[in-house]
Amino acid sequence: MKRLSKSRAPLPARLFSEPEHPKEIFVAHVDGASRGNPGPASYAVVIRSSDGQVVFQLGKYLSRTTNNVAEYYALITALDYAAAHNIRQLRVRSDSELLVRQMQGRYKVKSAVLKPLHERARKLAASLSYFHIDHIPREQNAEADALANAALDQAGGQPSSRESAAQGETRNSKSDNRPEARRIRARYRQGALHPAEPLDLADGEEVELTIQKCAKS
């Protein structure tokens, strides 16, 4: 008796699927800057075609906001440009670890301010036939970094005296690129710490601990 082969359900479309035509991939470098964080902020985008030619570049002042908001504005601008110019395959490079990991789904978006920006960026990315985002060292993002800071310089963007005293006058603050620190309780038993709540960490992910004894109730 001949067996009937079982039909398999079609695989779901993947946001980060491999491109069918690698030669058509455009590359966007994006960056956000904030002096004070929050403070005067700007963002920049540089997009190159597959042959390395610059097809779009922009440095824009945003007024007062955080570095992470500026990073998302840069990403959304790159995605908007791709949608408006029929670019179907886009690789984005950013030195913001938070932006990249959130777009990859590795970090949760807990900020109420970032959630709508993240959702918009995901929808735009999903409309492409191929989208990939990479985290790169800051020195490899120098062109976009320079454009963002030039936009701040032209707008006279300087932190207030209170922000300067609290944050320090840095040219391009990246201190907010990491996820926000969390305070949780843990109990020490048999040589190990046992958290009192879920940590939402990926397997093998490293964290930084600061130990402080709790007052006895």
Under-50 pLDDT residues of the chain: 2-19, 21, 160-178
3-state secondary structure the chain: CCCCCCCCCCCCCCCCCCCCCHHHCEEEEEEEEECCCCEEEEEEEEEECCCCCEEEEEEEEEEEECHHHHHHHHHHHHHHHHHHCCCCEEEEEECCHHHHHHHHCCCCCCCCCHHHHHHHHHHHHHCCCEEEEEECCHHHHHHHHHHHHHHHHHCCCCCCHHHHHHHCCCCCCCCCCCCCCCCCCEEEECCEEEECCCCCCCCCCCCCCCCCCCCCC
Tens of pLDDT, residue by residue over 110-143, are 999 999 999 999 999 999 999 999 999 999 999 9
Which pLDDT does position 199 carry in this prediction? 64
Instruction: Look at residue 208 in the predicted model and tell me its pLDDT.
Output: 66
How confident is the model at residue 23, as a pLDDT?
A: 67
The pLDDT, as a whole number, for residue 155 is: 86
How far is it, in rounded angstroms, from Cα 157 to Cα 173?
13
Please tell me the predicted confidence (pLDDT) of residue 206. Answer: 61
Predicted local distance difference test score (pLDDT) of residue 169: 43
| pTM score, whole prediction | 0.67
The string of pLDDT tens digits covering residues 135-145 is: 999 999 999 99
CATH for 22-167?
Answer: 3.30.420.10
